[in-house]
Homo-oligomer: A and B are copies of this chain.
């Protein structure tokens, strides 16, 4: 396994964080009944912008990268306020932003996966950490807005794109491909899956169960499930 890191220049990372924050704030703007104030918008921006990176580093036992620089927080907050003010523009630019976002999750996935590999994690958890880095911000956003987690619901492949991209990365890495090339392929694959999924409405199947005949169920009064 490589100890190489797929890294990107700070300004690109900050740009990616900003894209996430703009989106998070514009998304939150749809929920006016939440009565978010400016701080609430800033918090959503922070969560969406680098929440995935926070979770990644906490899982890896590291002080989060975004807290080791003065840049991440102001960028996320400014981008969130911009996204709030220009929410209509952001919604009109939906396609453009989906495209930028697809690049972003590809990059976050590649950074997270190579960081996990470099710290000695096996390949399966490395894919997990990279995917969480890519989509964790959107999970945090939904938790903080008290909404169902979007990536767990039927919808155009988003987390799946990150999983496919980061899986490709670990395969290439195991084959000895240079980490820079593997990382770029990860971004391209993630981007491709995500954009094609949006274009062609690819979705995962909804949860289902085997037909009742198959397990010879006997109708009886409903019992409480094993939830508690």
Interface set of A (CB-CB < 8 Å, partner B):
23, 25-30, 32, 34-41, 43-44, 54, 58-64, 66-70, 72-74, 84-92, 94, 97-98, 101, 116, 119, 121-125, 128-129, 138-139, 143-156, 158-160, 203-210, 212, 215, 217, 223-228
Inter-chain CA distance A208–B148, complex, in Å, is 24
CB distance from A78 to the nearest CB of B (A): 12
B70 x A40 contact (CB < 8 A): no
Main secondary structure of the interface of A (DSSP, over half): helix
- The count of identical subunits is 3
With A67-B125, A70-B122, A121-B68 already in contact, the answer to whether A23 and B217 are too (CB < 8 A) is no
CB distance from A208 to the nearest CB of B (A): 7
A228 x B151 contact (CB < 8 A): yes
With A84-B209, A98-B226, A225-B30 already in contact, the answer to whether A204 and B38 are too (CB < 8 A) is yes
> Nearest 6 pairs between A and B by C-beta?
A40-B152, A67-B125, A37-B204, A70-B124, A70-B122, A27-B227
